[in-house]
Amino acid sequence: MNATQRAVQEELHRIAPDIEFESIDADEDLREEFDMDSMDFLHLVTALGKRFGVPMPEADYPRMSSYNALCSYLDEVIE
């Protein structure tokens, strides 16, 4: 697990403490897997944007649709 994945898992746990990370499908819809609504997702994006100093524009939301997609996206924009 790299630093990005660890950070994403930490923030997800803060928002959805009732979901075991091991129980989710990392390629499926992130909001469905973690039972997040739009406010939860906004909190996640806000927290990750602050943590990594990246803008996380809404236009890029489609690239953050699953856990794996989100981690890849972050790795790419943090470069």
Partner 1 sequence: MPSLGSDMETGTLIEWQKKPGDTVSRGDIVAVVETQKGAIEIEAYDDGVLESHLVDIGKPVPVGTPLAIIQTPDSGVKSAPDRATTAPTQASGEISSPREPVTVDVAGGLTQDAARGGAEGGRQKISPAARKLAAELDIDITRVSGSGPQGAIVLRDVRSGAQRDERGSSLADSASRLQDGTVGTAAESTTLKTATSEMRSAIAAAMARSKREIPHYYLSQTLDISCADQWLATLNSERDPSQRILLGALLLKAVATACVKYPEFNGTFDNGVFSPAASVHAGMAINLRGGGLVAPAIHDTHELDIDGVMIRMRDLIQRVRGGRFRASELADPTITVSSLGERGVQSLYGVIYPPQVAIVGFGTPTLRPWVGEGGVLEARLLMDMTLAADHRVSDGHRGALFLRHIRQNIESPGDL
Site residues, partner 1 (CB under 8 A):
13, 16-20, 31, 35, 37-39, 42-43, 45-46, 49-50, 55-59
Q: Specify the residue, 2 or 17, whose C-beta has the smaller distance to partner 1.
A: 17
Q: How far is the CB of 66 from partner 1 (least distance, A)?
A: 16
At position 34, the amino acid (one-letter code) is F
* Residue 43 to residue 20: CA distance in whole angstroms: 19
Distance CA 79, CA 68 (A): 17
Closest CB 59 distance from partner 1, rounded Å: 7
Name the residue nearer to partner 1 (CB basis): 60 or 76: 60
CA 76 vs. chain centroid, Å, equals 14
CB of 7 to partner 1, least distance (A): 15
H helix or E strand, kind and range, residue 40: helix 38-52
64, 67 from 45: Cα distances, Å: 9, 12
Residue number, 1 or 39, with CB nearest to partner 1: 39
